[in-house]
């Protein structure tokens, strides 16, 4: 090394400051890093077993076997990674996803349904593209809002969504959030439920027909199941009245759950429903519905809410989850006694409608628990094959296993939605979102700062002193009042709010006379008498006519009315009344 050579030490701070290259760069996603960040923490087998009170299994299996089984289960079930989405403010009670797996909808006790699209999401933009209050779509500003009980995509026509809230009227929405149909409300003063055109009290749940795109069934607290044709919303197609035999019920009870399934082998459709009196009733899905095909009076404990019920893909088995803390497996061909009964940590009474669902190929059963654990059960023995925490400490209310995505979507009491997936076996959905590059934040992405002026601007959008002070303090008026103002598309956030006219600065004050006189042409004519303005050109028109010069010699003399002395003092006379 030469003695004159200068050695410069590398400055890490300067290296980070200076650019690595020049020209336009494309931001690429570090998929491996994003997947690593979405990986769920592993839980020891002993902790899981203590959570589900399985002491007898802990005696037979060692801790080494537990860890091996856990790793095998992660490969078998799509639970190794998760995507957390929080768009609601209160517990999520229901969710649905379209058959293609591209769009999903969630419903909550905050009285709104949220529309989400996987294709528009990135790892840092996990939000809904639309929020709708189904019970406040009318023009009345004082309309009440109600919790959402059930939402479901039509499996045969994904463009329509069944939406059920705590009202007597179910609704059909489009996949874009537009209301299409509203079923009629029945006459509450009629005693015979066969004569009413619709439900007379709140609906608890509902289902689409498995093969007919136009039919759906709703279960209400008026002790009826009603089958609707979406093309005739003014009256149900069929009504099924369940007569309760419980003491003191007067023949009525609340229908708490219903499912409508078809057999893959081409057998009959089955319609199975549960009631608050503990009974479980089954009908032929294609009718007639005058008499049930089978009925079990004490399927679950009376006065407990059986919120979960589902049929297997082959239609041979049905599984129910009761408010008595029991999960029971039934054979639909011998609908008398349960095949298997297991105890399960039930949720609180507030979330008694916790789901229980079969997996797409009926190889497993999934349900949640009060402590926020997801239970994957064996469909024959109902023993847990995998128990994993999702929202630890918060009840897991609703869940769904999508067949094409091979992902499990869950909704919890803490308003969080978790999408569980496995990068090795899951396709699209959450795996596609985590493979995208994070979106670069831009000021135009915040609707509080930018609006689409093609639809106009409301009066609330005009900057006032209060909004300016709120902006300086870091909180906008729209963020404090989410139902006021416009969305990014220019529409009002509150559909009941009428269009407000534009208030401009010029409309608040009148310009002075000097400004008008100097800048507005012919403005002085407003103070000029039109009669005098015409007469001042009379002499010029008589001497040098422009339009009547050819008839100058033969033109008769123009006569003008003479002004009397009284008219000069009092002004011209009004139109005289006709004399008879």
Rounded-to-10 torsion of CA 32, 36, 39, 42: 130
Residue listed under structure tokens 């004082």 = 142
CB 307 within 8 A of CB 353: yes
Yes or no: say if 399 and 393 are a contact pair by the CB < 8 Å rule: no
Q: Which two tokens stand for residue 159?
A: 């463009």
> Are 68 and 76 a contacting pair, CB within 8 Å?
no
The residues facing 412 across adjacent strands are 396
CB atoms within 10 A of CB 146: 16
List C-alpha distances in Å: 71 to 42, 44, 334, 358, 420.
Answer: 9, 11, 38, 23, 16
Distance CA 195, CA 192 (A): 6
Q: Are 353 and 333 in contact (CB under 8 A)?
A: no
Rounded distance between C-alpha atoms, residue 541 and residue 539, angstroms: 5
pLDDT at 68: 47
The rounded distance, in Å, linking the Cα atoms of 550 and 556 is 13
Question: Could you tell me the pTM of the whole model?
Answer: 0.69
pLDDT on residue 38: 84
Q: Which two tokens stand for residue 396?
A: 């897991």
Nearest alpha carbon to residue 81 among 447, 537, 396, 388 = 388
Tokens 């008498």 appear where? 529
Q: How far apart are CA 376 and CA 152, in angstroms?
A: 22
Number of other residues whose CB lies within 10 A of the CB of residue 255:
26
| pLDDT score for 9 | 64
The secondary structure of 316-341 as a DSSP string is SEEEEE-TTSEEEEEETTSTTS-SEE
Among 462, 384, 454, smallest CA distance to 70 is for 384
| Rounded Cα gap, residues 227 and 273, in angstroms | 13
Q: Is 208 in contact with 155 (CB distance < 8 Å)?
A: yes
Residue ranges with strand state E in 354-482: 356-358, 365-368, 373-377, 384-389, 396-402, 407-412, 417-421
**Per-residue pLDDT tens listing for the chain (580 residues):** 555 566 666 677 676 666 666 655 555 667 888 888 888 876 544 444 445 444 334 334 433 444 445 455 556 889 999 999 999 999 999 999 999 999 999 999 999 999 999 999 998 889 899 999 998 755 444 567 899 999 999 999 889 999 999 999 999 999 999 999 999 999 989 988 999 999 999 999 999 998 899 999 999 999 999 999 999 999 999 999 999 888 667 788 999 999 998 776 556 789 999 999 999 999 988 888 888 999 999 899 988 899 899 999 888 899 999 988 899 999 998 999 999 999 987 665 567 778 999 998 889 999 999 889 999 999 999 999 999 999 988 999 999 999 999 999 999 999 999 999 999 999 999 999 998 888 776 666 665 555 444 444 444 444 444 444 444 444 444 444 544 455 655 555 555 556 555 555 555 556 667 777 777 777 777 677 888 888 888 888 778 877 777 777 777 776 766 666 665 555 555 555 555 4
- Please provide the CATH number assigned to the domain covering 45-135+143-434: 2.130.10.10
| 211 DSSP assignment | S
Q: What residues contact residue 93 under an 8 Å CB cut-off, 6+ apart?
A: 107, 108, 109, 147, 148, 149, 351, 353, 397, 398, 411
Q: What are the structural domain ranges in the chain? A: 45-135+143-434, 443-508
> What pLDDT is stored for residue 567 in this prediction?
57
Contact 308, 353 (CB under 8 A): yes
> Is the backbone of residue 354 left (phi > 0), alpha (psi -120 to 50) or beta?
beta
Output DSSP code: residue 349.
G
Asked if residue 19 lies in contact with residue 339, where contact means CB atoms within 8 angstroms, the answer is no
The two tokens of residue 543 are 């001497």
Q: Is the dihedral of CA 466, 472, 473, 477 positive or negative?
A: positive
3-state class (DSSP) for residue 13: helix
Q: Report the greatest alpha carbon distance in the chain.
A: 132
């Amino acid at each position: 090394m030469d003695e004159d050579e200068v050695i410069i030490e590398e400055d890490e701070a300067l290296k980070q400051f200076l650019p690595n290259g020049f020209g336009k760069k494309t931001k690429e996603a570090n998929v491996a890093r994003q997947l690593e960040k979405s990986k769920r923490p592993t839980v020891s087998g002993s902790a899981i077993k203590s959570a589900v009170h399985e002491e007898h299994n802990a005696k037979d299996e060692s801790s080494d076997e537990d860890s091996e089984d856990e790793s095998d289960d992660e490969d078998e079930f799509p639970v190794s990674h998760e995507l957390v989405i929080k768009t609601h403010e209160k517990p999520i009670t229901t969710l649905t996803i379209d058959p293609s797996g591209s769009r999903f909808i969630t419903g909550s006790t905050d009285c709104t349904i949220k529309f989400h699209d996987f294709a528009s999401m990135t790892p840092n933009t996990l939000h809904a593209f639309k929020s709708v209050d189904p019970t406040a779509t009318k023009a009345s500003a004082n309309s009440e809002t109600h919790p959402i009980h059930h939402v479901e995509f039509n499996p045969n026509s994904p463009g329509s969504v069944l939406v059920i809230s705590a009202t007597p009227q179910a609704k059909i929405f489009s996949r874009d959030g537009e209301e299409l149909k509203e079923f009629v409300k029945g006459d509450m003063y009629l005693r015979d439920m066969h004569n009413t055109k619709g439900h007379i009290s709140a609906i608890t749940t509902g289902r689409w027909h498995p093969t007919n795109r136009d039919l759906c069934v709703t279960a209400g607290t008026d002790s009826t199941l009603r089958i609707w044709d979406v093309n005739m919303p003014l009256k149900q197609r069929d009504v099924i009245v369940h007569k309760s035999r419980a003491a003191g019920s007067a023949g009525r009870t609340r229908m708490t759950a219903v499912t409508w399934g078809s057999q893959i082998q081409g057998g009959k459709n089955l319609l199975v429903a549960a009631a608050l009196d503990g009974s479980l009733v089954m009908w032929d899905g294609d009718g007639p519905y005058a008499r049930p095909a089978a009925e079990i009076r004490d399927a679950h404990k009376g006065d407990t809410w059986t919120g979960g019920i589902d049929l297997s893909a082959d239609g041979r088995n049905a599984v129910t989850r009761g408010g008595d803390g029991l999960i029971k497996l039934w054979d639909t061909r011998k609908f008398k006694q349960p095949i298997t009964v297991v105890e399960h940590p039930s949720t609180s009474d507030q979330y008694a409608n916790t789901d229980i669902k079969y997996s797409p190929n009926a190889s497993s059963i999934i349900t949640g628990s009060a402590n926020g654990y997801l239970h994957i059960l064996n469909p024959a023995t109902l023993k847990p094959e995998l128990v994993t925490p999702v929202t630890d400490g918060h009840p897991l209310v609703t869940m769904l296993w999508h067949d094409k995505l091979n992902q499990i979507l869950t909704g919890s009491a803490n308003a969080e939605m978790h999408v569980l997936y496995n990068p090795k076996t899951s396709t699209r959905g959450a795996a596609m979102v985590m493979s995208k590059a994070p979106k670069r934040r831009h000021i135009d992405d915040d609707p509080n700062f930018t609006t689409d002026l093609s639809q106009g601007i409301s009066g609330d959008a005009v900057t006032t002193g209060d909004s300016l002070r709120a902006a300086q303090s870091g909180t906008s008026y729209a963020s404090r009042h989410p139902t006021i103002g416009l969305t990014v598309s220019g529409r009002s956030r509150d559909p009941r709010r009428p269009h407000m006219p534009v208030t401009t600065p010029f409309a608040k004050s009148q310009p002075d006379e000097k400004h008008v006189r100097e800048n507005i042409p012919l403005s002085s004519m407003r103070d000029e008498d039109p009669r005098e303005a015409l007469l001042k050109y009379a002499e010029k028109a008589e001497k040098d006519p422009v339009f009547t010069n050819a008839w100058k010699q033969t033109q008769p003399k123009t006569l003008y009315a003479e002004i009397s002395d009284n008219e000069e003092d009092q002004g011209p006379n009004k139109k005289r009344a006709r004399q008879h």
